[in-house]
Structure 1
Amino acid sequence: MKVNEKLLNRLREALMDIPTIKEKTMFGGICFLVNDKMCICARDNRLMCRIGPAVYEECLEIPGCEPMVHGKRLVKGYVFVYEEAFKDRAAFDHWISLSLKHNEALSRQQ
């Protein structure tokens, strides 16, 4: 498993104030679970974000964002986001915000 330590540390810093955060090795990277649900992952040079179906198609129009394929199966609601789409702080925060918003919606459904 190849994880970009710089990216991983950026995520740790951005998520450190969330009391229910856990790190777990999953999907070939280090994933952050919020309320025991997979939220966002650091992989090689990209993020894997669980953004949900509501904004999925819209996000795929952003350069540097592509659908997540696990094995040979397309996993709707999850995207891979490459560095070009999160270089600056505002863009990075945007992906975290989308992932946390979807996580919150999932938590309310329980």
Structure 2
Amino acid sequence: MAFDEYLAERISRVLDERKVIYFQKKMMGGLVFMVDNKMCLGIARDKNSGEDRLMVRIGEEAIQSNSHKDGIRPMEFTGRPMKDYSFIYPEGYDMEEDLEFWVDLALTFNPQAKKSIKRSKKK
């Protein structure tokens, strides 16, 4: 198992309660929740600590205004933070109301998020 299935169930439950249309996609060794065909949130394992972390796409403004919250860290894969994305470590989403907070921020930002450009496959 490359990601925490219980966390995936918790996220699904919050999205279902909010009557959000979404689908799940395995990606980057984890699980991504797609809303309006855009990456909204996900689960990824920290290779160094082995902890599962919540990935949220909340926008730069929300990242700045919530930088004091427990568990929030820049989303970096190559040494540079990814624009609009953050990781939330378990201390930031263990409580149900904390998880709901991050899901709601991601859902609020989603209409402003740009869709990824589909790249054509090389032959």
TM-score, L = length of structure 2: 0.78
What displacement does 1:72 show? Answer: 2.5
Tell me the CA shift for residue 67 of structure 1.
0.3
- Give per-residue Cα distances to partners, 1:16-35, cap 9 Å, x unaligned: 2312x111112331000100
Identity %: 31
**Corresponding residue for 2:3?**
3
Corresponding residue SS for 2:66: helix
Q: Which moved more, 1:89-98 or 1:67-76?
A: 67-76
Look up the match of 1:18.
Answer: 20
Give the SS at the match of 1:18.
coil
Residue 75 (str. 1) matches residue 60 (str. 2): no
| Partner residue, 1:36 | 37
Unaligned runs of 5+ in 2: 46-51, 115-123
**How far does the alpha carbon of each residue in 1:57-81 deviate from its partner, in whole angstroms, 9 at most, with x for none?**
1222212110000222211211000
TM-score calculated relative to the size of structure 1 = 0.86
Runs of 4+ in structure 1 over 4 Å off:
none
| 3-state DSSP of counterpart to 2:11 | helix
RMSD: 1.6
Q: How many residues align?
A: 106
Once the two structures are TM-superposed, the CA of residue 42 in structure 1 deviates from its matched residue by 1.7
Output the amino acid matched with 2:9: N
Max radius of gyration: which structure?
2
1:3: how far off?
A: 0.2
